[in-house]
Structure 1
Amino acid sequence: MVHQQFELWAEQTPDAIALVAQGREYTYQQLNVRANQLARFLQQRGVGPEVLVGVCLPRSPELIIALLAILKAGGAYVPMDPGYPAERLEMMRTDAQMPLLLTNRASQAEWMQSTDTQVICLDARWEDIGQASATDLPCQAQSHHLAYIIYTSGSTGKPKGVMIEHRSISAYAQIAGAAYNLQPSDRVLQFCSISFDTAAEEIFCCLGRGSTLVLRTEDMIGSVQTFLERSQAWGVTIWVFPTAFWHFLATELARTGLTPPASLRLVTMGGEKAIPAQLAQWRQQVGDHIRLVNTYGPTEATIVATMCDIAGPEAVAGAETSPYWQRDSSGTDLCAR
């Protein structure tokens, strides 16, 4: 399971940097300790297999700790971006019928006031949480239990909650990590909203391979130059984008003459097919030294079902997409899980 893969790295390389956020670094051991303490705190409040816990937190160390803790406790998380409209968040809370919701004081809102859901402000409870044991917990969940429920955009109707089991996200994280050749030396930018399943890819593929997760700030996307400068300063090696943002970035690089950071080795984008005009701009401005991968998959298929190298040293000439399983020596077809 993904949290167990994280625990292995915390045991093997406790002093390695797991997370970089807001100018601070957190080691694998530090992150694991906080997640273990919060997991026990949650278990004392009834969290276990198939118990849903809402997570309405901004991009922060507390968010990553909360996700790991819920999985360690045996529960399943429901990601809720605090920047979403209150009506949408309330719909998610009501539809999922979650007994528990984790947030912080800055994200508290009127829609959270309900007798059906217990709201816990983590920043007000860390002293209590820190009293719990810091050791790893016995695994409570089994592979068929839920890991998370993520709500679709609702572009074709009412948003629906898609249930993803531990075995699905675990298999995906292992095979995607291998396909992207993630190494402990990599630094992955956590770019996407927590309410998009791509965030699970960014987080669990990274922490399950001993890499460093770098949380982007809101202000860094204010301009392309700032985005590039921050990525360079943080030594980011991997970007994971929605295709629409990559289209924008490719156009801006061509317009301004700016280039990606020297540390960057891999860019993946998903959600839709790359437009040939932007791909041509990228190739002309960036060259072929950065691997560029176009992916696609419905949420129900666990993040990604197909992938293709469309630029860079491993580019597939003329290929539109290729199934993930073609890169998996075991022959497992993840599209069928």
Structure 2
Amino acid sequence: MSTTHSPEIVVGLLGVLAAGATYCPIDPTFPAQRQQAMRSAAGCRTSLGPRPDLVSARTGPLVPARPDDPAYILFTSGSTGEPKPVVTARRAIAATVASLRELFALTPSDRVLQFASLNWDTCFEEILPTLTTGATLVFDDEAYSGSFPRFLRMVEQAGITVLDLPTAFWHELVHHLVEYRVAMPAGVRLLIIGGEAVNPVRLAEWCELDTGRIRLLNTYGCTETTLITHAVDLHGPQAPRFDRPWAATRRVPIGWALPHVVEQISDEGELLVGGPSLALGYRGLPSATEDRFVTAGVGAGAGRYFRTGDRVSRSPDGLLTHEGRLDNEVK
């Protein structure tokens, strides 16, 4: 599916899933050769895009889908090699969305900004928990203007209550708030961040800016494990009491495992993630699938796990902190 930020594309996404087909987003701004390579790797047989003249098209039959049928194919970022097509089952989406609705404490009165690119799995964190709760998904071009004053004005005027932002974007947002001495819009109650390590200096600045009104939720997950698997409140009404001030903290925790997640830590300190949210594997790449999706654990913990490549440490109460990559890559 050719993707742009619009309600029509989200309707198309939901239509693909309802029809029992598999969704694979492809950015129309990519070079034609890359788009074709992605279609080939994902096994795409039909391409969809925005066509207003097709609104009156006839409705086709819906094909019953099974829990283990693929829901979507998304490509990894390629930061550790060539982008790989990850096949995610409907069962994995269902388990994850149920956990996220509870984690975010969504209600029908919430207004959630659709910020993430529809080519990345973060968009599902915004779309599916919101719509299945009966909350409102908000689209606004000002969200992508590159101007923080315009972004903040849009959040205020649109009555946004929940934001899901890349950590890198949040770092720059905090810098803007500090430099220009402005506050977050009053309606925001939850700000979700994820995608990279939190800068403890930026976090300390945020804690000075916000009195605890906004719930700041740090999240961790991989495409292969379906959205968020670990989360922790860093600031706000539900945040636990931490031992040291953030400015003096070397690493910020990535969180506790969500209810649907099973975790193991290998002898090398690598985080292994299991449970119903695991992807089916990499399409057309059996060797890569065998290498990263492994059988591990003993007794009740034995099962299929994804090797994240991330080294972690675990506190006595189960809180995980990221300690780097096994390959020493900075992400």
Question: What is the TM-score when the length of structure 1 is the normalising length?
Answer: 0.72
Given candidates 82, 85, 96, the residue that maps to 1:172 is: 96
The 3-state SS of whatever aligns with 1:79 is: coil
Task: Decide whether aligned partners of structure 1 residues 255 and 72 sit closer, same or farther in structure 2, where only a CA change above 3 A counts.
Answer: same
What residue is the counterpart of 1:194 in the other structure?
118
Structure 2 residue ranges without an equivalent (≥5): 243-251, 264-272, 276-331
Which of residues 217, 222, 230 in structure 1 aligns to 2:154? Answer: 230
Alignment of 1:121-132 (within 5 A): 122-127=51-56, 129=57, 131-132=58-59
> Does structure 1 retain, via aligned residues, the 8 Å contact 2:156–2:185?
yes
What per-residue deviation string (whole Å, max 9, x for no partner) do you get for residues 133-175 of structure 1?
8xxx766101000000001111111111111100101111111
Report the Cα offset of residue 88 of structure 1: 2.7
Cα distance per residue 1:48-81 (max 9 Å; x no partner): xxxxxxx103111210110110011001100112
Match of 2:2 among 43, 49, 56: 56
Counterpart in the other structure of 2:225: 301
Compared CA separation, residues 174 and 70, structure 1 to 2 (3 A): same
Q: Which residue of 2 aligns with 1:65?
A: 11
Distance 2:174 2:141 in 1: 21
Deviations 1:165-224 (A, max 9, x none): 001011111111101100000000010101110001110011111110001315653311
Shift of 1:86: 3.2
Aligned amino acid, residue 64 of structure 1:
V
SS at match of 2:178: helix
- Higher helix share goes to which structure? 1
Q: Which moved more, 1:308-317 or 1:76-85?
A: 76-85
User: Counterparts of 1:76-115 in structure 2 under 5 Å?
Assistant: 76-104=22-50
Amino acid at match of 2:13: L
For residues 68 and 244 of structure 1, the distance between their equivalents in structure 2, rounded to whole angstroms, comes to: 29
- Name the amino acid aligned to 1:182: L
Structure 1: distance between partners of 2:241 and 2:29: 40
Identity %: 37
The answer to whether the 8 A contact 1:220-1:226 is kept is no
Shift of 1:323: 2.7
1:284 maps to 2:208: yes
Q: How does 1:181-330 map to 2 (within 5 A)?
A: 181-217=105-141, 220-318=144-242, 320-325=253-258, 328=259
1:13-65, Cα deviation, whole Å (9 max, x unpaired): xxxxxxxxxxxxxxxxxxxxxxxxxxxxxxxxxxxxxxxxxx10311121011
What SS does the aligned partner of 2:23 have?
strand
2:324 aligned residue: none
Counterpart amino acid of 1:153? S
SS of structure 2 residue aligned to 1:194:
coil
Distance 1:88 1:286, change over 3 A: farther
Residues 273 and 294 in structure 1, CA contact (< 8 A), matched pair in contact too:
no
1:84, distance to aligned residue in structure 2 (A): 3.1
1:310 and 1:154 map into 2 onto residues whose CA distance is: 29
RMSD of Structure 2 on Structure 1 (CA): 1.9
Compared with structure 1, are the counterparts of its residues 219 and 145 closer, same or farther at alpha carbon in structure 2 (3 Å cutoff)? closer
Which one-letter code corresponds to 2:30 in the other structure? Answer: Y
Change (3 A) 1:220 1:98: closer
TM-score (norm 2): 0.73
- Specify the alignment match of 2:290 in structure 1: none
| Conservation of the 8 A alpha-carbon contact between 1:56 and 1:102 | yes
Matches within 5 A, 1:2-81: 55-81=1-27
In structure 1, the residue matched to 2:274 is 336
| Residues 221 and 229 in structure 2, CA contact (< 8 A), matched pair in contact too | yes
